[in-house]
Amino acid sequence: MKFSVCIKQVPDVSAPISIKDGTLTQDSDRMVLDAYSASAVEEALVLIDKHGGEVQVVLVGPEKAKETIRKALAMGAASGVHIVVDDVSGLDSGAYAEILAAWHKKSDYDIILTGKQSQDTDAGLTGGMLAWKLELPYAANAVGLTYDNEGGKLTVTRQGDSGQEMIELTSPCLVTCSNDMNEPRIPSLKGIMQSKRKKVETLQLGDLGLDPDTLSSKTSKTKGQGYKEVPGREPGKKLEGDPEELVTELVGLLENEAKVL
């Protein structure tokens, strides 16, 4: 069983950020492995531990993103593919999906895993777009995966709107992973040492028959127009005192001022 896990390098979203003239500035320029991607890598590793096989990770991003591929290799992935795009700022989900589709059309895989969204944009489009372009059955927002070796069937538990849905996919197929499905492992020292000897294939967009200008001007159908602050809420009332008083005051306000009881 061969897993192809699409991973992304993202800014550390926990670092403070500010906006100036519509442009985003982060206090730290630290880039990390996207948390949803990490859950996808972890889940693939757990499944091959049980059923055999190997995990390859695929990343679209600048030269610097190679360190993120190394991180996934240190977790236990066998090999990496780095599709080098120096400036990803003009690419939307559609362009990422186009690039990943071009790669997968010429590669072997049984199951493609992606994050259900990525921490920087929270869009969650690429997985479904990629599945469509590759004509694969898919399920999104998976919180659990089990594999049946004999039938080549993957059972996905996904978080739906009312409860969880269990969907049986026939491979080849695609699943997008929630960060609720597992706790990604921290690479061991041995894993880190081994990762340095693992193979990372480097490709340019031209190798996939793609043109960077077309990807940003035509394939990307949405354009970023800058950033703005999230609007705040009107300041409320802060109540202090002993519990009985607080309760009386709150219930009065809910009944008479907010009128929500």
Partner 1 sequence: MSKILVHIATSEGKIKRSSLEVMSYCKTLADKNSMTLEAVVLDPDPAKYTDQLNTYGPDKVYQVKHPIFKNHLNAAVIEALSKVIDQSGPRLCAFASTESAKEVIGALAARHDAAAIPDVAGFTINNGSVDAERPVMAAKVLSKTSSSSELVLVSVRSGSYDLAENPGNAETVAVDFDFDESGLRAVLKEVLSSAGDKVDLSEAEVVVAAGRGIKDENGRKLVEELAETLGAAIGASRAVTESGLFPATLQIGQTGKVVSPQLYFAIGISGAIQHVAGMANSKVIVAINKDPDAPIFQYATYGLVGDLFKILPPLTEELRKIKGA
Residues 10-49 binding partner 1 (CB under 8 A) are 11, 13-14, 17, 19, 22, 24
Q: Is 179 in the site for partner 1 (CB under 8 A)?
A: yes
The nearest distance, CB 144 to partner 1, in angstroms, is 10
Q: Is the dihedral of CA 137, 113, 207, 94 positive or negative?
A: positive
Q: Is 155 in the site for partner 1 (CB under 8 A)?
A: yes
The nearest distance, CB 50 to partner 1, in angstroms, is 20
The nearest distance, CB 193 to partner 1, in angstroms, is 31
Choose which of 28, 30, 67, 132 interacts with partner 1 (CB under 8 A).
132
**Contacts to partner 1 from residues 233-252, by CB under 8 A:** 233, 235-241, 243-244, 246-248, 250-251
Q: Give the whole-angstrom CA distance, residue 126 versus residue 117.
A: 8
Q: Shortest CA distance to 143 belongs to which of 45, 1, 50, 36? A: 36
Q: Give the whole-angstrom CA distance, residue 176 versus residue 143.
A: 9
Strand residues in 110-172 grouped as ranges (E): 111-115, 138-148, 153-159, 164-170
Q: Is 258 in the site for partner 1 (CB under 8 A)?
A: yes
* Closest to partner 1 by CB, 74 or 177: 177
Choose which of 4, 9, 157, 182 interacts with partner 1 (CB under 8 A).
157
